[in-house]
Amino acid sequence: MKLDQWIFSFMSKRGLLEPDGRALFAYKTSLEEFETLRQVLQETPPGSITNPGYPQAWLLFAAEWWKRDYPGGAWRWGPLCEAAGLPGLTHEKTRRLVIEGSRLWRLQTAMALLRNCPSEHSYPFPQTIQDTRIVCGVPSRVN
């Protein structure tokens, strides 16, 4: 299954054609959907990171991974990126996935920041793991 197909199916199951701006946890991703998304991401060639649907799928996976699979300890992108099939992803590329994924999901925090952003090169979007957890709606119980 391709990323675009997975996203379309995910949205369709919720009676949506596109994201509506709710926090990612509010889409209530099932375990089966999470595992299928993991598989789709892992099977996606690394060069596909520029596919328009990739950041959207990756950010949903990230939110669910923090909620379901975070093993505890130091907050690092490495284990998450590895689980998504992108070991060794640079901080800058991860940051761009968060920024673009937030925009594609129409996350209210991200969109408010975008409207106030003076330049496309100086995004004030969440850049830390903690900020990403908040924007994605990951429950704070994973602290």
Domain encompassing residue 107: 3-138
63 found inside a domain: yes
Top pLDDT among 47 and 28 is at 28
Q: What is the number of structural domains in the chain?
A: 1
143 found inside a domain: no
68 found inside a domain: yes
pLDDT for 34 equals 97
Q: Side chain identity at 18, as an amino acid letter?
A: E
pLDDT for 41 equals 95
Of 97, 96, 91, 80, the closest CA to residue 42 belongs to: 80
Q: Average of pLDDT values for 55-73? A: 90
Mind listing the pLDDT tens digit for each residue in 69-86?
A: 888 887 788 999 999 999
67 found inside a domain: yes
pLDDT-derived band at 15, boundaries 50, 70, 90: very high
87 found inside a domain: yes
Half-sphere exposure of 32 toward its Cβ, with a 13 Å CA cutoff? 2
